[in-house]
Amino acid sequence: MLCPVGTADGRSQAADASAVGSTNRIIKSGPCQPPPMNVSIVGSGYVGTTLAACLADLGHEVVNVDVDEDVVATINDGEAPIHEPGLDELLEECAGDRLRATTDYDAIRETDVTFLALPTPSREDGSIDLSIMEAAAESLGEVLDDKDGHLVVVKSTVIPGSTDESVVPAIEAGGDLTRGEEFEVAMNPEFLRMGTAVDDFTDPDKIVFGADEESAYDALDAVYEPLVEQTGAPVVRTGIREAEMIKYANNAFLASKVSLVNDLGNVCKEYDVDAYEVADAIGLDDRIGERFLRSGLGWGGSCFPKDVDAIRAAARDVGYEPAVLDAAVEVNDAQPERLLSLLDDHVDVAGKRVAVLGLSFKPGTDDVRGTRAIPVIEGLRERGADVVAYDPVAVESLREYAPEVEFEAADSAAEALEGAHGAVVATDWDEFAALDHEFDAMAEPVVVDGRHIVERRDGITYEGLTW
């Protein structure tokens, strides 16, 4: 049982001094209340803002540091800079009280623990680009000179070795500091999903602490203790490199699971088998699990494509060809063309209006990074179709993200379908399940569903991608 005890400098110690080692240990918390911590979070995007609001809600004093003045002003106004259910409410309650935001790194001096929640994008070749992390770590180093044992926690998704080999040297260079003196490091990967970020953070399947110093585990225990207390979530204590890899393994496994279910689904389609009935049955086997078995157009988003590419590039860097991950990407890349070939079976779309329903990478968000709707629209344009697209929230973000993608925007699914010679479904927005008489206004009522959301009905020619 871990019972963090407050110390004079506001940090905490665990009463249980478990040995530090590379073997993971799952620890359940005990019924003790740690004192609040002073926490800073660098980067206020999806992860940083959610973390800040949730930690403030748990009773900690939190400061968000971001280079973007608009983001900072929005948080200080008690609003979320990103759309996440429940986040505005938390910020409204905590901002100006236990939570504030600033562009000034100096604010970090007043805190005991700093989380780095910064973007880790892909380079052209898919490998991880750590330049934002390194720049921020250097700025952090500049303000840690008068500290003693400050804990820096890497929250971003980074390739094994990045914390030790890139982040630590950047902090040291920023302030002529030495790890183990002014600061210590830890790695605490994040598993929240967009659209359910607050719920995922406040009810996690697991919490992973990667560290190699007992004091680092203790500080993380103190930060997370109220959450562990509330939820009983298992805490995995492991090494820094293992924590870094756990995040990639988690995302790569889930992306590959979807690709496997798509691969099997493509076979199902050829044999006139409903892949969803198959998935429902195999999901009853605990070893498979019922979640992440929705076959269709494949995975997108800001993380699966980036993270799978980064870990593949890292594997190749050390001379290993990750065959299963390569195949997962290959299957994923092929799904949009499979969808369009089903449409080709019924309509020659050249010169004709075709409706695309859904643009975001998944329902519940306006995020279009990695959305499968882009290759679908591009494939339709290559066939000479006039594309009319509808999405309840993501039209503007797609225009901004990919201005070269040509489509006419409709204000409703009904408007997109009117006069169309075919419709394809790219995102499983709930509202598409309710579509019915709207299909009657199509010039040719052919619907190819990439997300198993539209209901089969009389009067339409319906093709499911894997069912």
Instruction: Cite the active site residues.
Output: 303
Pick from ligand NAI, ligand UGA, none: which does 119 bind, CB < 5 to 8 A by kind?
ligand NAI
Angle between helices 131-143 and 168-175 in degrees, nearest 10: 40
Helix (H, G, I), strand (E, B) or coil at 26: strand
Residue among 66 and 112 whose Cβ is closer to ligand NAI: 66
Q: Please tell me whether 287 is known to bind a ligand.
A: no
Tokens (6 digits) for 99: 């939570």
Pick from ligand NAI, ligand UGA, none: which does 132 bind, CB < 5 to 8 A by kind?
ligand NAI
Spatial distance between the Cα atoms of 204 and 224, rounded to a whole number of angstroms: 11
Q: Can residue 193 be called a binding residue for ligand UGA (CB under 6 A)?
A: yes
Q: Can residue 201 be called a binding residue for ligand UGA (CB under 6 A)?
A: no
Q: Are strands 353-357 and 183-187 parallel, antiparallel or unpaired?
A: unpaired
Residue of minimal Cβ distance to ligand UGA: 303
Q: Can residue 361 be called a binding residue for ligand UGA (CB under 6 A)?
A: yes
Q: Is 46 exposed, middle or buried (0-12, 13-18, 19+ CB in 10 A)?
A: buried
Residue among 91 and 293 whose Cβ is closer to ligand UGA: 293
Please report the sign of the dihedral spanned by the C-alpha atoms of residue 35, residue 115, residue 203, residue 189. Answer: negative
Residue among 24 and 44 whose Cβ is closer to ligand NAI: 44
Q: Please tell me whether 98 is known to bind a ligand.
A: no
Closest CA to 199 of 360, 53, 304, 80: 53
Tokens (6 digits) for 231: 């939820």
Pick from ligand NAI, ligand UGA, none: which does 15 bind, CB < 5 to 8 A by kind?
none
Q: Please tell me whether 247 is known to bind a ligand.
A: yes
Residue among 248 and 390 whose Cβ is closer to ligand NAI: 248
Spatial distance between the Cα atoms of 439 and 355, rounded to a whole number of angstroms: 11
Contact between residue 55 and residue 90 where contact means Cβ atoms under 8 Å apart? no
Spatial distance between the Cα atoms of 328 and 246, rounded to a whole number of angstroms: 18
Q: Can residue 115 be called a binding residue for ligand UGA (CB under 6 A)?
A: no
Pick from ligand UGA, ligand NAI, none: which does 66 bind, CB < 5 to 8 A by kind?
ligand NAI
Which of the stretches 24-32, 105-113, 136-144, 291-299 binds ligand UGA when contact is defined by CB under 6 A? Answer: 291-299
Out of 29, 188, 251, 256, point to the residue binding ligand UGA (CB under 6 A). 251
Residue 250 CB, shortest distance to ligand NAI, in Å, is 10
Residue among 191 and 462 whose Cβ is closer to ligand UGA: 191
Spatial distance between the Cα atoms of 79 and 71, rounded to a whole number of angstroms: 9
Q: Please tell me whether 351 is known to bind a ligand.
A: no
Spatial distance between the Cα atoms of 405 and 396, rounded to a whole number of angstroms: 12
Tokens (6 digits) for 451: 């997300």
Binding site for ligand UGA (CB under 6 A): 157, 190-194, 251, 254, 258, 292-294, 296, 298-301, 303-304, 361-362
